């Protein structure tokens, strides 16, 4: 092969390499990198069992925890998903317990100011279903706070343990909205609303609520309040009058809750566990709790949240906008 042919062959190879390189770069540039990162860093999402106290694996006690505001935040990107209570994961745990024939008792640790009406009802109903279908005891240990929705989900327990300083009660329903109409008018901001019906913009943050609208919403809250009372009546074996004596939104400590028959004994989590074992012959039972196999993605997500969450003022403003974007009924005590 003469020199010209070698040069031609080399040029052809060079053109091929350049073309392949261009195609590769183009493919890389067109990739959805967010999707790729989420695939690589996404949490496994599986529910894992962790043995807390070894014992008979055919007779087991499930330890569950509700720690934080009870609300369903939906499925978020694993890189930026919030930490804390995960409603979907907790409901999966309850369903796994319902199907697990080896589970002979449940201890629920509650440290929560409450949360959404729907989410609290979800947990309560599933606990009742577990008790009735499996005929097993459910004991509750209240932490620093188990108020409003935190008490709602505790009510069906066979026995409730409280710390003397536990903050509980706050039996009732609340719905809040923010009205910045006056501020907007003062600064010359005009809102234009086109609606299909008279009440379509009820609880609008840009205008005053009418008395008729207030009555409509109050009726809704009263219905949810009565369901809350019914839940306590059924769970605690109290009359309506006994419940409503305390169901005015007031908070109370652990000792007061016992006096009001809303709790049974003073104690911590270990006391609730020991009580369940002794009362129901489960001294030798294995105890376990669930954990989510979060993987590297979850750890990386925590760092990403810390990096991008901004200064304190920005976070407060963002929280306010998030809280009041869509007002809803809540079994909630204290600040959101």
- 245 DSSP 8-state letter: T
User: Contact 152/331 with Cβ under 8 angstroms?
Assistant: yes
Residue that is written with structure tokens 């201890």 in the block: 107
Cα angle for residues 268, 272, 275 (degrees, 5° grid): 135
> Of these residues, 148, 154, 170, 224, which one is catalytic?
148
Q: Is residue 281 classed exposed, middle or buried when 0-12, 13-18 and 19+ CB atoms within 10 A define those classes?
A: exposed
Say if CB 153 and CB 126 are below 8 A apart: no
Is there a catalytic annotation at residue 204? no
Q: Which residues of 187-198 are buried (b: 16+ CB within 10 A; e: fewer)?
A: eeeeeeeeeeee
Active site residue 245: no
Q: Which of 26, 164, 195, 200 is catalytic?
A: 200
What is d(CA 255, CA 111) in angstroms, rounded to the nearest whole number?
17
Q: Where are the alpha helices (DSSP H) in 100-199?
A: 117-134, 149-152, 181-186
| Rounded Cα–Cα distance for residues 155 and 153 (Å) | 6
CA dist 100 → 54, 97, 103, 151, 155 (Å): 18, 5, 6, 26, 23
Q: In this structure, are residues 153 and 94 in contact, taking their beta carbons and an 8 Å threshold?
A: no
The DSSP code for 174 is B
φ, ψ dihedrals at 145, nearest 5°: -145, 135
Residue keyed to tokens 């205008």 = 207
- Token code pair at residue 197: 């019906």
Q: How far does Cα 96 stand from its chain's mean position?
A: 18
List, by residue number, the catalytic residues.
Answer: 148, 200
């Amino acid at each position: 092969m003469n020199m010209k042919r070698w040069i031609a062959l080399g040029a052809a190879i060079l053109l091929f390499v350049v073309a392949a390189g261009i195609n590769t770069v183009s493919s890389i540039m067109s990739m959805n990198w967010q999707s790729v990162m989420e695939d690589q860093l996404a949490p496994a999402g599986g529910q894992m069992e962790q043995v807390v106290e070894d014992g008979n694996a055919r007779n087991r006690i499930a330890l569950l925890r509700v720690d934080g505001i009870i609300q369903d935040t939906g499925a978020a990107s694993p890189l930026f998903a919030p930490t804390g209570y995960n409603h979907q994961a907790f409901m999966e745990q309850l369903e796994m317990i319902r199907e697990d024939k080896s589970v002979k008792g449940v201890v629920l640790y509650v440290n929560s100011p409450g949360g959404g009406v729907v989410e609290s009802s979800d947990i309560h109903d599933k606990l009742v279903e577990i008790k009735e279908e499996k005929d097993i005891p459910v004991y509750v240990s209240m932490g620093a706070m188990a108020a409003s929705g935190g008490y709602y989900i505790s009510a069906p327990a066979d026995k409730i343990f409280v710390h003397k300083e536990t903050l509980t009660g706050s039996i009732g329903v609340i719905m809040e909205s923010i009205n910045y109409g006056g501020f907007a008018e003062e600064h010359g901001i005009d809102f234009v609303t086109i609606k299909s019906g008279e009440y379509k913009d009820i609880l609008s943050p840009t205008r005053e609520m009418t008395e008729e609208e207030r009555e409509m919403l109050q009726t809704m809250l009263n219905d949810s309040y009565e369901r809350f009372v019914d839940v306590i009546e059924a769970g605690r074996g109290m009359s309506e009058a006994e419940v409503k004596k305390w169901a005015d939104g007031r908070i109370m400590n652990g000792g007061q809750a016992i006096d009001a028959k809303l709790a049974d004994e003073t104690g911590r989590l270990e006391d609730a566990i020991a009580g369940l074992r002794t009362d129901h012959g489960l001294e030798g039972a294995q105890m376990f709790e669930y954990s989510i196999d979060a993987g590297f993605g979850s750890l990386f997500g925590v760092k990403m949240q810390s990096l991008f969450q901004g200064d304190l003022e920005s976070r407060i403003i963002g929280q306010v906008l998030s809280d009041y974007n869509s007002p809803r009924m809540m079994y909630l005590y204290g600040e959101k």
